Amino acid sequence: MAEGFSHLALITETYPPEVNGVAHTLQCLTSHLRQRGYRVSVLRPRQSGDGAGADLFPALSLPFYPQVRMGYSVTHRMRRRLRVLRPDLIHIATEGPLGLAGLLAARYLRIPVVSSFHTNFDGYARHYRLQFLQGLALLYLRGFHNATRKTLVPSQGTFAHLTAHGFRNLAMWRRGVDTVRFDPRWRSDTLRAGLGLGQDDGLLLYVGRLAHEKNLPALVVAYRRLREIWRGPGKLHLALIGDGPLVAELSRQKLAGFSLEGVQQGEALARWYASADLFCFPSCSETFGNVVLEAMASGLPVLAYDTPGVNEHFRSSDEGVLLPVDGDLAIAMWSLLGNRARLREMGQRARQRAEGETWPRVFDTLLDNYRQSLDGAS
């Protein structure tokens, strides 16, 4: 444990049992630091089933995206709570009202603050007909993060994007994967049989938010074309794992061999990854793409677009296939599913790559960044 640093206050508007990459990362952070002997106080919105708690704050759902909830607090309440906790360092993980209250309170109390950048909210605006807010969103995000001692970013692509837009004091904090939880051994013939699939059939999988910013219509259109040109061997099935504002629209798809499987967690999610034949990830808006690393750890070959964040998972074409953004997704799926030997080899190499991306290494880097931020505060 670093001298002068024993207590971290984490302020976030998303945390388990919410299911998303940010919530999962922050839960791993909290668990890892506590295992190392650090005290971690998590200040977050109150969720269903929560009792009373001084570190829990009210929250509201976004009207156009009810799965996303924003916490809020008047600054003086946050200030009172932080004065009681007296953390050595504050880590603000989200830039919403709760994060802003924490930033203002920390400044008043002169507590050092680091932040982390997880989501390209400025880029999301165009997906929800809010293009007029894109410039304002970027201005706010830049001001927010530049007011902290350090902003932790998950990928080189995000680092370059933020640098180009005037963000300062950036540092890398990548993500890891649990290679025990996500492992090829979870492959399940029973799961496949439940979809009407045998060993020679093809199961395509997507895991993530079912939302506009994930470019899911492109995947559904490509799968429809794939079924038109597919001549075997075997049958095809596309399963989407997750929840989000596109659920109703996707449920109306009249498409054979297609299913929405809802939110899956733990061993159930591990079985889906390991039981599939190809992971299809059409998103072009990622800062990292945790699910890509989970698929790789599961020995599942990945097909994705060659975009920042996602493309940094692969060192060679033996570990995954990256398409140009204007590439033909249907033809790429057809080519891969028609060569099972290549798929197996790609899955093996993807697993080997993921085995080098462990959480302990990731948190060693994070602790170094915390210590440097505290040194800068002294």
Kindly list the domain boundaries of the chain, sorted by start residue.
Answer: 7-176+358-377, 184-354
C-alpha span between 135 and 123 (Å, rounded) = 10
Closest C-alpha among 116, 84, 128 to residue 365: 116
Per-residue pLDDT at 68: 66
Per-residue pLDDT at 64: 60
Closest C-alpha among 71, 62, 72 to residue 245: 62
Per-residue pLDDT at 110: 96
**Residue range 288-336, pLDDT digits in tens:** 999 999 999 999 999 999 999 999 999 888 899 999 999 999 999 999 9
| Residue 232: exposure state from Cβ atoms within 10 A (0-12, 13-18, ≥19) | exposed
Amino acid at 236: L
Which CATH number does 7-176+358-377 carry?
3.40.50.2000
Per-residue pLDDT at 41: 98
CA-to-CA separations, 363 to 174, 247, 310, in angstroms, rounded: 9, 35, 21
Which CATH number does 184-354 carry?
3.40.50.2000
Please report, in tens digits, the pLDDT of each residue of the chain (378 residues total): 555 689 999 999 999 988 888 999 999 999 999 999 999 999 999 887 787 788 998 877 766 666 666 776 777 899 999 999 999 999 999 999 999 999 999 999 999 999 999 986 655 555 555 555 677 889 999 999 999 999 999 999 999 999 999 999 999 999 999 999 999 999 999 999 999 999 999 999 999 999 989 999 999 999 999 999 999 889 999 999 999 999 999 999 889 999 999 999 999 999 999 999 999 999 998 999 999 999 999 999 999 999 999 999 998 888 999 999 999 999 999 999 999 999 999 999 999 999 999 888 899 999 999 999 998 654
**H/E element holding 343?**
helix 340-354
C-alpha span between 205 and 294 (Å, rounded) = 12
